[in-house]
Amino acid sequence: MFKVVVTDYTYENLDIERKILARPDIELQDYQYRDAAHVKEITADCDVLVTQYADINREVIENLAHCRMIIRYAIGVDNIDLAAASERGIPVVNVPDYGIDEVSTYAVTLLLCAARKIPQTIDMIRRAEWNYAITKPMYRTAGKTVGLIGFGRIPRAVAKKLSGFDMQILAYDPFVPEESAKELGVKLVSFEELVCQSDYISVHCPLTAQTHHIVNEDVLRAMKKTAFLINTSRGATVDTEALYRACRDGEIAGAAIDVTEQEPLPAGSPLRTLNNLIITPHIAWYTEEAIATLKEKLAQEIIRVYEGGQPVNIVNRNSLKGMETK
């Protein structure tokens, strides 16, 4: 029997997965455990470990008897100990292409909402006021510069969508060749150049040890005072306390973020008090179509492993000792 264990999920059901995995010798077990102690117990003898938000730490991974793949319902895999999985020769797999349109569209939407101060004017109308002066100063977006931190699938889609806005687009990504950026009319620059030159900075890098707080107090101080920060990647790529101070003190014009370091955002967070900070509850990825695509692609990866093949989207490929699965 080929055993697939789903540790946790936030979807209504697993109907799509069950349909794709409908084989006589595939057993799909689903739970709602996020803590490592329970996860360790339920996954010990699984062939595939599927997770969304559960803590897949070293202790959990070292307890896996014959796991052939760990896969997450997401692009990021920051809840999985990659080093421990690599040491065991277990591929860690994500689904990197299920919500490219959704997240890129949302990033552009946040940029425009911040630039035109749309949430502030909506709040004004709800207060029965009518005065454009509350938006001052406001500047046109045409002719301005957008800086993309990271230039993978999503920021490339952002660049395409912004191509009709008459804006210069810069990008920083040490892993991307200059030619691939030029094809989209994007100029690759150093991180320092991007920070200093951009009117809008949009964060799109994965969360790693190197990118943790990549936007820190020094970066925020180096930004133009008229610049906005957009973040649809991971909350911890931005120093929350530094962002609060920068928005409060007018070091930057404002920010629009879909992710925070602590989620859900605590009720007493000072971020909630800022009029120049737009916060949404990590929904950039969501549409009904995106969820269906995510589930389908995840289940298809499981079938590849079940049939004796290799998954396509291996995050820790370069760290694996050989490519044999357990």
Active site residues: 234, 263, 282
Q: Say how far residue 239 (Cα) sits from the centre of its chain.
A: 16
CB 11 within 8 A of CB 17: no
**Contacts with 177 (C-beta within 8 Å, 6 or more apart), sequence order:** none
Tokens standing for residue 161 = 């969508």
Please work out, in degrees rounded to the nearest 5, the angle formed at the alpha carbon of residue 154 by the alpha carbons of 287 and 314.
95
Tokens standing for residue 41 = 């117990």
The per-residue b/e assignment along 276-301, b for 16 or more CB within 10 angstroms, e otherwise, is bbbbbebebbeeeebbebbbbbbbeb
Distances (CA, A) of 291 to 14, 17, 95, 143: 11, 11, 11, 36
Which run of H or of E encompasses 30?
A: strand 26-30
Which run of H or of E encompasses 51?
A: strand 48-51
The per-residue b/e assignment along 15-49, b for 16 or more CB within 10 angstroms, e otherwise, is ebbeebbeeeebebebbebbebebbbebbeebbbb
Please work out, in degrees rounded to the nearest 5, the angle formed at the alpha carbon of residue 95 by the alpha carbons of 203 and 195.
10
- Report how far residue 262's alpha carbon sits from residue 278's, in angstroms, rounded to the nearest whole number: 16
Angular region, 173: left φ>0, alpha ψ -120 to 50, beta rest:
beta
